[in-house]
Structure 1
Amino acid sequence: MAAALHIYFRELQVHYFRLHLIVAATSATFALAGCETMKGIDTQSLTNVGGTAVKAMSLSDGDIVTMSVESCAAMDQKNKTAAASSDYAKRLDQVVKGMPATINGKSANYKVYLTEEVNAWAMANGCIRVYSGLMDLMNDDELRGVIGHEIGHVALGHSKTRMQTAYAASAVRGLAGATGNSALKALSESQAGELAEKFVNAQFSQSQESAADDYSFDLLTASKLERKGLVTGFQKLAKLSAGSAPGSSLMSSHPPSETRAAHMQKRLDKGG
């Protein structure tokens, strides 16, 4: 337990350090740019840019949920979503039966994106998106394992941290409204879409991935659902990552899929 807490606080320190680097880098950039570059720029807007990174760490749960609602809506608009009458949607409805209807008090909302990419993610507002490429790759038990993993990231607070990081990483985009350039102002208006992309493409830490794996295992155990899919699912991801398939946060995450499969198998062998 002490070792786990040590790792957690160490990663929290790293997270804070990264946010401070964002603020420092923003300030340094304009210091080097010189006064000519600063002409015509709203200095109050520049102050807000640096403040964005700092504010990220103080975002409330309500702020995170609101940002998740907007980000999820932006992703839904960008991607082709399977109709409720489609085979993909019907299959997903069957797969999630017996799984939580709420996460941290928020209703779980499942949809399928029609894309060959192998991925899935969940946000703090209960928005859970599964890609058809993942569904084509995995059987129902394996899909439940992945979905349980994504639910774990939300339930354990990882998705909140991920959104904070995404928010801080997009802080420089606030410069769009500081230059008076209409094209840049349009970029500012697309903040929700940009934030969503940064959230989806961000990676969790090693301890967060492992914790979400264990959460999924425990969730499936409590729900009396098959857990072997957690082993075979990671084995499939390991083979896929070794090939020429498109990149995916599921495959690029750490620890390696082979290690995660072995850990799940070890828990199965011990009877949970």
Structure 2
Amino acid sequence: MFRLSAITLLFLATGITATQAQFKINAKTVSAASKGATAATFSDADAAKLAKEAVDWMDAHNPVAADDDPYTVRLNKLVAKHQEEDGLKLNFKVYKVIDINAFACADGSVRVFSSLMDMMTDEELLSVIGHEIGHVKNHDTRDAIRQAYLRSAAKDAAGSQSGAAAALTESQLGALANSLLESKYSRKQESAADDYGYEMLKKHGYNVMSMASAFQKLADLSGGEKQSKMEKMKSSHPDSGARAKEVEEKAKKDGLYKATAAK
């Protein structure tokens, strides 16, 4: 599904809100997930269909980096061997916007924002991408979009005996997007996604400490001199500094620890 702002570790870390963001969200009719999308039957396929329509709209209404753009060239080189990960077929694009963010969707779409690329090294970006893929593989994205869908657009359909939810109108989809923006993962879900990202780095022979340095950069953004511009993360979201230390502990146990510092 489309993982916007509050659902991603990056938006939570920076405290960017929907009204402050340059990034545009979907506001059109979506019917792809209209069949069999009740609370009891909402599946990975339903989430993927709804996500694809949303991502298609976002791609059309946001500045996507061209194929020969340096951002696209860099990302494509970075993910060349990650077109499929753990059975999930992926597709990648860069949004040239000021927001510091990235998200992965149930349909395999991964969108990385240029401002995030500006502050992260290649392997740090991979750790972020791995974390977001973890949310998809752990069904967090499916469950979040299902709950947002039912809250914002399908209350009546959820109680229907017919087993079919109505198509989303423009206003309902706007409410869905807002609901998603307000969604947040539990500490357990975030930790599990961190574990997935760490194991992905480890599996492919990358420096696992890049995840620790990525978290440290997020910690730096959420405090200190930049406190006036960046909100501290919400109480339900694990502290980035603490997450960096958890990665360090895992790396030490695995014999992969290397001293590192955010750049």
Normalising by structure 2, we get a TM-score of 0.70
Matched, 1:123 2:102: no
Q: Which has the higher contact order (CA 8 A, sep 6+)?
A: 2
Structure 2: distance between partners of 1:85 and 1:56: 43
**Contact preservation (8 Å) 1:65, 1:124:** yes
* Number of corresponding residues: 206
* Distance apart, 1:128 and its partner CA: 0.7
Q: What whole-Å deviation, never above 9, does each CA across 1:231-271 have from its counterpart, x for those lacking one? A: 000000001011244669xx557111011101001111111
Structure 1 stretches of 5 or more lacking a match?
1-53, 175-186
My pick for the range that moved more, 130-139 or 105-114, is 105-114
Distance 1:195 1:111 in 2: 23
How far, CA to CA, are the matches of 1:138 and 1:218 in structure 2? 19
- CA contact 1:117–1:246 (8 Å) conserved in 2: no
Residue matched to 1:155: 137
User: Equivalents in 1 of 2:98, 2:178: separation in Å?
Assistant: 17
Work out whether 1:233 is the aligned partner of 2:181.
no
State the match for 1:212 in structure 2.
Answer: 193
- Mapping for residues 122-271 of structure 1, pairs under 5 Å: 122-171=104-153, 188-189=169-170, 191-192=172-173, 194-196=175-177, 198-199=179-180, 202-242=183-223, 243=226, 244-245=228-229, 252=234, 254-271=237-254
Superposed displacement of residue 192, structure 1: 4.7
Identity level (%) = 39
Q: Which residue of 2 aligns with 1:47?
A: none
Unaligned runs of 5+ in 2: 1-36, 157-167, 257-263
Name whichever structure is richer in helix by fraction: 1
Offset of residue 83 of structure 1? 1.0
CA distance in 2, matches of 1:57, 1:241: 39
**TM score, norm. by length of structure 1:** 0.68
Indicate the structure (1 or 2) with the bigger Cα radius of gyration: 1
* Secondary structure of 2:132's aligned partner: helix
- What is the aligned partner in structure 1 of residue 69 from structure 2? 86
Cα distance in 2 for partners of 1:154, 1:60 equals 13
What is the distance in 2 between the residues matched to 1:157 and 1:142? 23
Q: Which amino acid aligns with 2:209?
A: K
Partner Cα separation in structure 2 for residue 73 and residue 84 of structure 1: 17
Task: Tell me, yes or no, if structure 1 residue 66 matches structure 2 residue 49.
Answer: yes
Distance 1:80 1:96, change over 3 A: same
SS in 2 for 1:82: coil
Q: Report if aligned partners of 1:75, 1:193 keep a CA contact under 8 Å in 2.
A: no
Q: Distance between the aligned counterparts of 1:189 and 1:96, measured in 2? A: 34
Query: C-alpha separation between the residues in 1 aligned to 2:113 and 2:92?
Result: 11
- CA shift in 2, pair 1:246/1:76, >3 Å: farther
Query: 1:124–1:160: 8 Å Cα contact kept in structure 2?
Result: yes
Q: Determine helix, strand or coil for the equivalent of 1:121.
A: strand
Deviations 1:132-164 (A, max 9, x none): 111111111111100000011111111111111
Map 1:108-119 onto structure 2 (within 5 A). Answer: 108-119=90-101
